[in-house]
Structure 1
Amino acid sequence: MRLSALLLPVLVATAQLAQAQQASPEQSGAAGQSNLDALATGAPAPLYLGRNDGVVGNPYVDARWLPGQLTTKNNTPLAVVPLKYDVFNHRILMRKHGTTDSLQLDDRYVTSFTLQVPAASGMPARQRTFRRFTEAPLPNQSSDFVEVLHTGRYELLKHYVMHVRKAPAHTGYGVESKGAELEDKSEYFLRRPNAQLVPVKLTSKSILAAAPDLASALKSASPKTELEWTNALQLADPR
């Protein structure tokens, strides 16, 4: 795949992307694209990890290019553009519309972004929201992005973390192995109404210990997966 080091040209988002994001005219036109161009580093960004460094795996929250909307500190209008969030390398990638070229964004001024996920396999289209992990328990994580799975009086947050798991030095045949793969070590947090952040697991015991006042609303639910917990919390703790 050819990678470009050139700044993005002026882009008018397609009607499909505009409809998905409901972008305002200034966001979907030349002004929004010009503002977006200012965030492009001009540095080519490899799309896959492992071609040259021996590490295999998917470093993205979603391997697809999805229509995305960025929000900056000063709320500067930005154009809708295909985005990927690279968890392992802590970077946001954008694709030049109509091409296969990608650029890395200078995200120092980005406070949040959304990804529009199309309907598939019986699931409706949905929007995924990511924001800075400003209340992170470790200072070096505060610039990371967390996905907001639920927002009400409580917030359910997913902090994506990926580590490299190195392969054994030797295989069963006595041949040295240099391979390594990405390992998902993502973690969940519940942000209480008093802004206290509590690490949780997606189990009834853990969630109810962090939010005991939701016990009666959740007593009839038996969520297990991330999606089931998200739906259960939306019913028990509406916005």
Structure 2
Amino acid sequence: MKIHHLSLLALLFSAGVAHAQQDAAAQTNLNALAAGAPAVVPRGTADGLKGSPYADNRWLLAQITLANNLPLAPVPLKYDVLDHRLLMRAPARPKDSLQLDDARVLQFVLNEPATPLSPARQRTFRRFAEAPAENHKRDYVEVLHQGRYTLLKHYLKKLNKANYQGAYSTDSHYDEIEDKSVYYLLTPDARLVPVKLALKPLQGAAPALAAALKTAADAQKPKTDAEWTAVFAAADPAPAK
């Protein structure tokens, strides 16, 4: 019995050491992706800045997947859509935003905490390999739903500078970041269809789901991205693994 007890202790100790080594390796790999200098975040000019450059303004804990499958420690992350970059907040420098070298990043998953109005959920962002424009293929696109059909959100932002001087001024005293995001439906035959998040356009893009979408939409009355995600989950459930 003593031999078995000692063997179990040795096994647990070895597992603990291996886990600690894996955690250390994950943090080392993450540190290697972070630039040394803090990133400059948009602050606006003139009388200020309206709008946001980020897909989500919050620092959300993220799991990052690299092309070489190296482990990475979870890290608070923001996706800066305007400047096409990922920003992280390192525990050792909690007041700094550090830019990740994301050349090897395939995808990241943001962990959104529960609120009084909605449950916790995970939000997957991957490269937009199917993008119709070549210069957008390295952008990240949010996968709102994935079943037979895939519902994608391509985040796009445009900066409009303040214009209150000169003969052609618009009397705008603020820099403004405009949201120009586009939704797409990827069909089973690999067609990428731009859509609006409304019942009729979605039914037109996915006629095979028309009846199921109407039933789910009538029941849920969707308005937000998360609510439309729930509609698609009901109308087009993901195949069993």
TM over 0.5: yes
SS in 2 for 1:181: strand
Question: What is the rounded CA distance, in whole Å, between the counterparts of 2:69 and 2:178 in structure 1?
Answer: 35
Shift of 1:195: 1.5
Shift of 1:224: 4.0
1:79-94 correspondence to structure 2 within 5 Å: 79-94=73-88
Tell me the residue number matched to 2:100. 105
Q: 1:32 aligns with which of 8, 26, 34?
A: 26
Judge which range, 101-110 or 55-64, deviates more.
Answer: 55-64
Question: What is the rounded CA distance, in whole Å, between the counterparts of 2:73 and 2:25 in structure 1?
Answer: 8
Give the fraction of aligned pairs with identical amino acids, expressed as a percent: 54
Question: What is the rounded CA distance, in whole Å, between the counterparts of 2:160 and 2:69 in structure 1?
Answer: 39
Q: Relative to structure 1, is the Cα distance of residues 103 and 27 closer, same or farther in structure 2, using a 3 angstrom cutoff?
A: farther
The runs of 5 or more residues in structure 2 that have no matched partner are 1-17
User: CA offsets per residue over residues 2-30 of structure 1, 9 Å max, x none?
Assistant: xxxxxxxxxxxxxxxxxxxxxx9479711
Q: Relative to structure 1, is the Cα distance of residues 36 and 26 closer, same or farther in structure 2, using a 3 angstrom cutoff?
A: farther
Judge which range, 220-229 or 157-166, deviates more.
Answer: 220-229
**Are residues 1:156 and 2:151 paired?**
yes
SS in 2 for 1:207: helix
Would you say the 8 A contact 2:47–2:173 is kept in 1? no
1:53-92 correspondence to structure 2 within 5 Å: 55-92=49-86
Shift of 1:65: 1.0
Shift of 1:170: 4.5
**Are residues 1:96 and 2:87 paired?**
no
Tell me the residue number matched to 1:46. 40
SS in 2 for 1:107: coil
* TM-score scaled by length of structure 1: 0.81
User: CA offsets per residue over residues 22-41 of structure 1, 9 Å max, x none?
Assistant: xx947971100111111112
Question: What is the rounded CA distance, in whole Å, between the counterparts of 2:159 and 2:41 in structure 1?
Answer: 17
Question: What is the rounded CA distance, in whole Å, between the counterparts of 2:40 and 2:140 in structure 1?
Answer: 20
Shift of 1:166: 3.6
Structure having the higher helix fraction is: 2
**Are residues 1:129 and 2:128 paired?**
no
Shift of 1:85: 0.6
Shift of 1:57: 2.7
Q: 1:215 aligns with which of 207, 210, 217?
A: 210
Q: Relative to structure 1, is the Cα distance of residues 201 and 27 closer, same or farther in structure 2, using a 3 angstrom cutoff?
A: farther
Question: What is the rounded CA distance, in whole Å, between the counterparts of 1:193 and 1:27 in structure 2?
Answer: 42
Tell me the residue number matched to 1:186. 181
Q: Which amino acid aligns with 1:30?
A: A
SS in 2 for 1:38: helix
Q: Relative to structure 1, is the Cα distance of residues 170 and 118 closer, same or farther in structure 2, using a 3 angstrom cutoff?
A: same
* TM-score scaled by length of structure 2: 0.81
Shift of 1:211: 0.5
Question: What is the rounded CA distance, in whole Å, between the counterparts of 1:82 and 1:45 in structure 2?
Answer: 15
Question: What is the rounded CA distance, in whole Å, between the counterparts of 2:21 and 2:119 in structure 1?
Answer: 25
Question: What is the rounded CA distance, in whole Å, between the counterparts of 1:37 and 1:227 in structure 2?
Answer: 32
Question: What is the rounded CA distance, in whole Å, between the counterparts of 1:78 and 1:96 in structure 2?
Answer: 13
